C-alpha cells in the first residue's frame, strides 16, 4: 500500500461521515461492540416507506416463480418422499436487472433527499449498473469505480459487460487494475467531489434489500399457506444474506432456514494479479464470502451494515462447473436465461432440495440479467483462453483457477457444507485483534459478539478462552 493510499484510508471515517451524513461514533459502545439495530434504524425510514420509495422508481414486486420442471428433475433422482418444491424470485425484472436495484434505490433516494449533486460507488458491476440506473432516474451525476483489469489490462467479459451497462446509463466508469486501491480511490473521489457514498455496506443500501425477504415470505404464504422452509441466498459481501434475512424476520418468517451459498474459489487470492482472470465469477464466491463474513468491518464504511453471520443457519459452497450446469438447465427446463450469480444459489438449492421432504419449500431469492459478456459461454471461452481446463466429468475434480469440471448428470450436483463454528471462531479472533492490545472483552462485548455470530454468550466465552490459551 502506497503512502498516498495509507493517507486517504486514514481519513476514511471523516470522509464517510461527510459522504453519508452519518456519524458512526454515535453507535460505538466499546472497542468491540456497537449498537447495530440503532445504526440500522438511524435513517428513519419504515419498511412501508422503503416499499413506497422503491415502487416509485420501478423496483421491487418481482415475480415469484415455481420451478416445477426443475423440481421434477430433482425428484427423479432423490430418495422416495424427498425432493422439495423449488421457487425463485425473479429479480432480473428490476430496472437494471438484479436485486441490487433495491439497495441502490435507497442510496439514491437518500442522496437526492439530502441534496447531494451526485453519487459514487465501488463495485465490480451489478451494483454499479443499479446505482447508475437509479441515478439517471433521479438526475444525479454518477461515478462508478470498478476493479476491471489485471496488469496487462485484460478484463473478464462479465466485468467489461458490466462497465458497458453502467456507461449506457450515463455513469462515468473509472476502471482500475486489481489491487487494494479500489476503496482508496473511491474515498479520494468522494473527498474531491463532495458526492454521496452509495456504499454497498451502508444501512441505507442493506435496508433496501429487506423488502425482498418481506415480499417472498408474504407471497409464499399466499401461494402455499406458509413461509418458505428454506431460503437460499447467493453470498459475497454479505448484504444479500443480511437484508433478505431481516426482511423475512420482519414478515414473521422466523422459522425459515437461512442458507447462504457461494462458489468455491478457495486457493485463489482476489487481490492477486495472476489469479484475477483465472476465476470465472466476479461475485458470489468464497473470495468475498468468507473474509466478509469473518470480518465485515473491512468495508469502506466504519461499521458494515452487512453482517451475514448474524443470520446464517447454513453456508454451502458449489463449484464453478455446477453453477454453469444449472445455468444451462434453468434455460432449457424453465425458459429462464439468467446470469451466473443467482444460479450459484440455484445450484445449492438443487442439492439442498434433494435431501429435503417433498412438502418442504426452497426459495432461491434472486436471479440476475444476463448479456453477451455475462453469458456462461463467454466466461467459459475466456477461461479456456487463460489456460483453464474446461471439461465434463465429476465436479468434485474442479480445481479453482486450473479446471472447471461441468457435471455430466444433475445428480452429481452436491453442495459442500462450510463449518460455521470455525467461521465464528475466526470472527471473534478478528474482533479481538482489532481491539487495543491487552483489551479484555466486557459482558456487553460478549453479548454483541454472540449476536453478531448467531451463537450464545457461553459459546463466545469458550472461543475467547480458547484463543487466549492459544488453542
Which helix (H) or strand (E) segment is 259 a member of? strand 257-263
Distance CA 400, CA 256 (A): 32
Buried b (16+ CB within 10 A) or exposed e, 185-206: bbbbbbeebebbbbbbbbbbbb
CA 416 to chain centre: 19
Q: Where are the alpha helices (DSSP H) in 92-238?
A: 100-113, 126-138, 157-168, 181-193, 203-224
Q: Of 231, 236, 224, nearest to 256 (Cα)?
A: 231
- Sheet harboring 416-417: ordered strands across? 64-66, 85-89, 361-364, 230-234, 257-263, 314-318, 416-417
> Does residue 271 sit in helix, strand or coil?
coil
State phi, psi for 121 to the nearest 5 degrees.
Answer: -135, 145
Number of other CB atoms surrounding residue 470 within 10 Å: 5
Q: Of 340, 331, 160, nearest to 236 (Cα)?
A: 340
List, in order, residues 6 or more apart from 466 with CB less than 8 Å away. 425
Number of other CB atoms surrounding residue 14 within 10 Å: 11
Number of other CB atoms surrounding residue 424 within 10 Å: 23
Cβ–Cβ < 8 Å for 43, 203 = yes
Q: Of 392, 182, 402, 384, nearest to 275 (Cα)?
A: 402
Cβ–Cβ < 8 Å for 195, 327 = no
> Does residue 142 sit in helix, strand or coil?
strand
- pLDDT for res 372: 80
Where would I find the beta strands (DSSP E) of 39-103?
64-66, 85-89
Mean pLDDT by 10 residues, the chain (471 residues): 77 90 94 98 96 98 98 98 98 96 98 97 88 98 92 88 93 87 87 96 96 98 98 96 98 98 91 85 89 94 96 98 97 95 95 98 96 88 94 96 97 98 98 95 98 98 92 60
- pLDDT for res 470: 81
Distance CA 458, CA 283 (A): 35
Cβ–Cβ < 8 Å for 398, 318 = no
Can you read off the three cell numbers belonging to residue 410? 444433475
Q: Of 343, 409, 87, nearest to 217 (Cα)?
A: 87
CATH 3.40.50.1100 assigned to domain 59-97+206-417? The reply is: yes
Distance CA 301, CA 421 (A): 27
Burial of 468 (0-12, 13-18, 19+ CB in 10 A): exposed
Cβ–Cβ < 8 Å for 305, 205 = yes
Cβ–Cβ < 8 Å for 327, 317 = no
CA 65 to chain centre: 22
Q: What is the pTM of this model?
A: 0.96
Cβ–Cβ < 8 Å for 227, 253 = yes
Whole-number CA gyration radius for the chain:
21
Q: Are strands 416-417 and 314-318 parallel, antiparallel or unpaired?
A: antiparallel
CATH 3.40.50.1100 region(s) of the chain?
Answer: 3-53+98-203, 59-97+206-417
Distance CA 355, CA 358 (A): 9
Cβ–Cβ < 8 Å for 147, 178 = yes
Cβ–Cβ < 8 Å for 126, 158 = no
DSSP-derived letter for residue 3 is H
Can you read off the three cell numbers belonging to residue 285? 464466491
Residue range 3-53+98-203 forms a domain whose CATH class is: alpha beta
- pLDDT for res 282: 82
State phi, psi for 45 to the nearest 5 degrees.
Answer: -95, 130
> Does residue 184 sit in helix, strand or coil?
helix
- pLDDT for res 1: 55
Amino acid at each position: 500500500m502506497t503512502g498516498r493510499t495509507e493517507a486517504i484510508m486514514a481519513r476514511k471515517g471523516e470522509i464517510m461521515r461527510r459522504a453519508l451524513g452519518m456519524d458512526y461514533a454515535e453507535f460505538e459502545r466499546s472497542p468491540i461492540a456497537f449498537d447495530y439495530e440503532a445504526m440500522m434504524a438511524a435513517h428513519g425510514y419504515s419498511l412501508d416507506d422503503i416499499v413506497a420509495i422503491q415502487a416509485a422508481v420501478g423496483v421491487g414486486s418481482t415475480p415469484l416463480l415455481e420451478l416445477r420442471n426443475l423440481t421434477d428433475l430433482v425428484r427423479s433422482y432423490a430418495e422416495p418422499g424427498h425432493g422439495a418444491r423449488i421457487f425463485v424470485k425473479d429479480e432480473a425484472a428490476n430496472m437494471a436487472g438484479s436485486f441490487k436495484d433495491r439497495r441502490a434505490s435507497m442510496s439514491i433516494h437518500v442522496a437526492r433527499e439530502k441534496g447531494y449533486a451526485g453519487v459514487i460507488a465501488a463495485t465490480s458491476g451489478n451494483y454499479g449498473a443499479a446505482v447508475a440506473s437509479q441515478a439517471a432516474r433521479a438526475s444525479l451525476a454518477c461515478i462508478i469505480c470498478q476493479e476491471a483489469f489485471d496488469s496487462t489490462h485484460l478484463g473478464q467479459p462479465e466485468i467489461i459487460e458490466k462497465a458497458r451497462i453502467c456507461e449506457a446509463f450515463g455513469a462515468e466508469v473509472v476502471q482500475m487494475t486489481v489491487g487494494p486501491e479500489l476503496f482508496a480511490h473511491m474515498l479520494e473521489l468522494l473527498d474531491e467531489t463532495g458526492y454521496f457514498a452509495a456504499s454497498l455496506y451502508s444501512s441505507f443500501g442493506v435496508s433496501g434489500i429487506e423488502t425482498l425477504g418481506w415480499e417472498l415470505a408474504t407471497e409464499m404464504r399466499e401461494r402455499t399457506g406458509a413461509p418458505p422452509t428454506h431460503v437460499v441466498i447467493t453470498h459475497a459481501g454479505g448484504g444479500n444474506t443480511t437484508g433478505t434475512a431481516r426482511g423475512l424476520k420482519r414478515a414473521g418468517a422466523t422459522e425459515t432456514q437461512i442458507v447462504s451459498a457461494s462458489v468455491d474459489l478457495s486457493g485463489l487470492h482476489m487481490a492477486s494479479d495472476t489469479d484475477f482472470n483465472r476465476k470465472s465469477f466476479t461475485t458470489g464466491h468464497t473470495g468475498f464470502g468468507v473474509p466478509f463474513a469473518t470480518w465485515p468491518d473491512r468495508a469502506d464504511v466504519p461499521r458494515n451494515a452487512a453482517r451475514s453471520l448474524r443470520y446464517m443457519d447454513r453456508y454451502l459452497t458449489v463449484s464453478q462447473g455446477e453453477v454453469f450446469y444449472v445455468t444451462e438447465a434453468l434455460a432449457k427446463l424453465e425458459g429462464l436465461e439468467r446470469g451466473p450469480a443467482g444460479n450459484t444459489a440455484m445450484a445449492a438449492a438443487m442439492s439442498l432440495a434433494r435431501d429435503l421432504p417433498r412438502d418442504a419449500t426452497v426459495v432461491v431469492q434472486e436471479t440476475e440479467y444476463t448479456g453477451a459478456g455475462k453469458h456462461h459461454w463467454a466466461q467459459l471461452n475466456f477461461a479456456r483462453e487463460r489456460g483453464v481446463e474446461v471439461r465434463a466429468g465429476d465436479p468434485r475434480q474442479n480445481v479453482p483457477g486450473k479446471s472447471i469440471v461441468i457435471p455430466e448428470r444433475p445428480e452429481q450436483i452436491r453442495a459442500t457444507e462450510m463449518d460455521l463454528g470455525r467461521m465464528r471462531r475466526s470472527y471473534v479472533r478478528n474482533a479481538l485483534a482489532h481491539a487495543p492490545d491487552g483489551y479484555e472483552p466486557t459482558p456487553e462485548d460478549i453479548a454483541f459478539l454472540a449476536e453478531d455470530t448467531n451463537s450464545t454468550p457461553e459459546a463466545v466465552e469458550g472461543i475467547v478462552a480458547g484463543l487466549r490459551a492459544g488453542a
